[in-house]
Amino acid sequence: MPSRDVVEAFAQRLEAGDFIGAIEQFYTPAAATYENNAAPTVGRDKLVAKERGVLAASKEVKAARIGPSMIEGDHVATRWTFSFTNAEGVIRTLDEIAWQTWRGDQLTEERFFYDPKQLGR
């Protein structure tokens, strides 16, 4: 079970824009993430590479947590708003719920639930 301090430190890294650092510090080497019901991305190195691609496609990415993270045993749920600014200055906003499974202070699995239509606006 992750401590509240670890979950807060993870969230603060995201809110500071250190997405790569958060993955490198908090995810296990075999961690998996799922975008809605899509097939998982498995392995911390693949997760870092995927995140680098997202960041490269955007001029700026901002994360803001909406309310507190809810912790129950090994599970953490957090509501996030992400803003992606492209090279032309167009901002797209994504409201999502991240459902995480932790082993101690390391993230082993994360599922992102959101309406993909949000990014087409």
84-121 pLDDT per residue, tens? 999 999 999 999 999 999 999 999 999 999 998 887 75
Number of domains in the chain: 1
CATH number of the domain bearing residue 83: 3.10.450.50
What is the pTM (predicted TM-score) of this model? 0.92
Residue 121 lies in a domain: no
Instruction: Quickly state the pLDDT bin for 29 (edges 50, 70, 90).
Output: very high
From residue 11, how far is each of 4, 17, 78, 115, 120 by CA, in Å?
11, 10, 9, 22, 26
CA distances to 11, 30, 52, 119 from 46, rounded to whole Å, are: 21, 10, 10, 23
pLDDT at 121: 57
Tokens of 15: 């809110």
Q: State the pLDDT at residue 117.
A: 87
